[in-house]
Amino acid sequence: MKYEAPTRSENATIRVMAIELEQVFCRALELDPADRIEPPRAADRQPRPSRGFCKQLLRQTRQPLPAKPTTVAKEDYEYERGGTCNIFVAVEPRGQRRFAQVTARRTKVDFVAFVCRMLRRGYSHVRKVHLVLDNLNTHLRESFEEVLGVKTAATVLRRIEFHYTPKHASWLNMAEIEIGVLQRQCLVRCVAEQTILTTEVAAWQRRRNAARCGIDWTFTRRDADRKLSRHYVP
């Protein structure tokens, strides 16, 4: 696969976005926890296999051998494919909470349902939630209007402020970090059924939330200037 380096214009956009996100996340740090009426959030979906974050459902063709004292578990390298599924992930870095949901697809209906569920279950008392997203064509205000209707969507959208990562800069979304943790801790073995995966992802979410695992984001505008300044458009 051919790699396309960011253009000078795109690097300038990355710097602007880094500054914007720094302001969004720093806003919460300046507030007393009781006053955080607009907690910053990062949200992203787990994309299709082309991005490497889709979870394939795989069935073992032979019964694995369980672990024994002094002997590790063994499984055959052959497997049967059972389809794929999508995983939405949202993380509140400073609030040390995350939401993950397994869905069969990643349509605008699925995305809108995930966001509404997150608002209802985790942020019913919050006036506004900041969502950091990539530029997928379902991550739009119009998706809410098409799925919920204009009137209902307006009520929901009043509580959301969208922030989009620029091209070649999905790493500015902290949800990518949380997806990596999910991959390493929960998705490394074969899972044959979506129901099993749903149960295991939910257990992972509860464990991470109970441990109050957050993200210490250290990339600042000064880092952006140091790393990217020679590529900025004059």
**11-44 pLDDT tens trace:** 666 667 667 766 665 554 443 333 344 455 565 5
Q: Tell me, yes or no, whether 4 lies in a domain.
A: no
Residue 97: CATH number of its domain: 3.30.420.10
Continuous segment of H or E residues that includes residue 99: strand 97-103
Closest to 159 measured CA to CA, from 116, 107, 99: 116
Give the pLDDT of residue 39.
Answer: 52
Domain residue limits at 176: 9-60+80-215
Higher pLDDT, 46 or 214: 214
Task: Decide if 222 is inside a domain.
Answer: no
Per-residue confidence (pLDDT) for residue 128, from 0 to 100 = 86
Q: Is residue 15 part of a domain?
A: yes
Q: What is the mean pLDDT of the chain?
A: 78
In a domain, 228, yes or no: no
**Res 1 pLDDT > 70:** no
Sign of CA dihedral 150, 17, 12, 136: negative
What SS3 class is residue 73? Answer: coil
Q: What is the pLDDT of residue 56?
A: 80
Select from 144, 145, 46, 126 the least CA-distant residue to 90. Answer: 46
What is the pLDDT confidence band of residue 181, given thresholds at 50, 70 and 90?
very high
The total domain count for the chain is: 1
- By the 10 Å C-beta count (0-12 exposed, 13-18 middle, 19+ buried), 191 is classed as buried
* Residue 150 included in any domain: yes
How many angstroms separate the CA atoms of 205 and 90, rounded? 11
CA 181/CA 64 separation, integer angstroms: 25
User: Model's pTM, two decimal places?
Assistant: 0.78
- Residue 231 domain flag: no
DSSP helix, strand, coil percent of the chain (3-state; round to 5)? 45, 20, 35
Categorize the per-residue pLDDT at 164 as very low, low, confident or very high, splitting at 50, 70 and 90: confident
Residue 234 lies in a domain: no
Report whether 38 contacts 128 (CB < 8 A): yes
pLDDT band at 191; cut points 50, 70, 90 = confident
Residue 69 has pLDDT above 80, yes or no: yes
C-alpha to C-alpha distance for 135 and 154, rounded to whole angstroms: 21
Give the DSSP per-residue string, 13-26. HHHHHHHHHHHHHH
User: How many other β-carbons are positioned within 10 Å of the β-carbon of residue 203?
Assistant: 11
Q: What is the DSSP letter of 139?
A: S
Whether residue 75 is contained in a domain is answered as no
Q: 164 with 133: CB under 8 angstroms?
A: yes
Lowest mean pLDDT of 39-53, 64-78, 117-131, 208-222, name the range. 39-53
The answer, yes or no, to whether residue 45 has pLDDT greater than 60, is no
| Amino acid (1-letter code) at residue 224 | A
Q: Tokens at residue 67, please?
A: 């672990």
